[in-house]
Structure 1
């Protein structure tokens, strides 16, 4: 479904990504792990159209999307749940959901999709007319995921979905990702919680200083001595 080929990205004179290559098969969860500053968010934003690569190709369902503006990438079916949730705090929950349905691909199914996400997240149904900024951190993360789903994505990129959440809420969020994947949505998971993300990933990539250094199944990376020493404290 998604293939990144030899992508290079610069922020000014600093190189953020160097010859990054990876692939995401339809119907899988792919984890991208690494320390702060490894290039994970730069990669997600480049795929999503917020950064323009200096070179390389990004293929989504066979079409090269490298350098396309983000609204066109979204309308092709690439959704993103951004780090820090990035909801509209002054708007109501309902208005945030409607913002997610503004994409041309999703407008006709706005009512149907709102019913779907409210069934997935009953707390959002209870708070439809509440200002989104007054929700708890976990509820805001639910809203961020629900807003993304309103856009009818085929693939969702999750950027640090557990950041700042209590352990029980983290479990709920990751279970939601697993449920979405089981229902057919392809997922890319960027997460500092390496152990948890590798447990649910079909495939994983380790980024270090803007480069892919280790690739394998989630299970294989969990038992890889380099990963265990660097990220799992073993």
Structure 2
């Protein structure tokens, strides 16, 4: 098992954001986390990434306890995150943003080779390597955020709302890239507002409601479940 979470509780002050959340992410799988706004999806991602500290429960990565580790240590163990809203460095160039992603000790030795791979995957970034990142379109910035994550040599990538605010054509490209990365062997955790696309991509999926896991199953099974179709797909 790649990532294992057991009975995770996370609070913001007295408000409980996650309540006894348990899930498994097998090596090489795409696992989707779906649910309404405020269900706790981003809190879960942030807890895995070391940004939030759980009050109870455990997070294990490749049989190593990582609960409460600082985010830079989590990243250096091979867990990358493409955050909601992209969070690139707008005043830095495309190249400088990518170089920031390679500052992890695990990534430094292969920085040049990884940069070539990222430019091959995203030719637009190669064309605009010297351009200030803040002057690019939302879609280009999302590609940069993914590329920066890849520079860290992750084995698992967590995508938090990767299609948010993007044009439909760009959204299709983002999902094509996620499928391609999965085909190349990366494990993926996907939090995405487009529930139908998420479930079509996912090997397995979990449904979060009010901080609790209320359903789980294969992506295909949940896609055809009447409760999911009514609650999230409007069918």
Q: TM-score range by the shorter chain?
A: over 0.9
SS at match of 1:162: coil
- In structure 2, the partner of 1:165 is 166
Distance 1:100 1:59 in 2: 23
Q: Is the counterpart of residue 27 in structure 1 residue 24 in structure 2?
A: no
- In structure 2, the partner of 1:44 is 45
How much does 1:91 deviate? 0.2
How much does 1:183 deviate? 0.4
- RMSD of the alignment, in Å? 0.4
- In structure 2, the partner of 1:72 is 73
Distance 2:50 2:164 in 1: 23
How much does 1:89 deviate? 0.3
> Across the two proteins, how many residue pairs are aligned to each other?
234
How much does 1:223 deviate? 0.5
- In structure 2, the partner of 1:137 is 138
Distance 1:50 1:200 in 2: 27
SS at match of 2:152: coil
Distance 1:175 1:208 in 2: 28
- In structure 2, the partner of 1:188 is 189
How much does 1:11 deviate? 0.5
- In structure 2, the partner of 1:220 is 221
How much does 1:61 deviate? 0.3
Q: In the TM superposition, what whole-angstrom CA distance separates every residue of 1:11-33 from its partner, at most 9, and x where no partner exists?
A: 00100000000000011100000
How much does 1:95 deviate? 0.2
Distance 2:136 2:32 in 1: 28
Distance 2:202 2:173 in 1: 16
How much does 1:213 deviate? 0.5
How much does 1:228 deviate? 0.4
- In structure 2, the partner of 1:12 is 13
Give unpaired runs (5+ residues) of structure 2.
none
SS at match of 2:205: strand
Q: In the TM superposition, what whole-angstrom CA distance separates every residue of 1:183-216 from its partner, at most 9, and x where no partner exists?
A: 0000000001100110110000000000000100
